[in-house]
Amino acid sequence: FAEQTKLLAKNISKEIQDFTQSIIDESRRD
């Protein structure tokens, strides 16, 4: 169970990084 949670947390942090990156790219475009 702990392994699954760790994997999930890793996926979530990657999602957040991608999301943050896209926001940065958006704001840079202006």
**Each residue's pLDDT tens digit, 1-30:** 899 999 999 999 999 999 999 999 999 987
Q: Is residue 30 part of a domain?
A: no
| Count of alpha carbons within 13 angstroms of residue 26, beta-carbon side | 6
Print the domain residue range for 4.
Answer: 1-25
Q: Is residue 2 part of a domain?
A: yes
Q: What is the pTM of this model?
A: 0.63
Count of domains for the chain: 1
Residue 10 one-letter amino acid:
K
Q: What integer pLDDT is reported at residue 13 of this predicted model?
A: 98
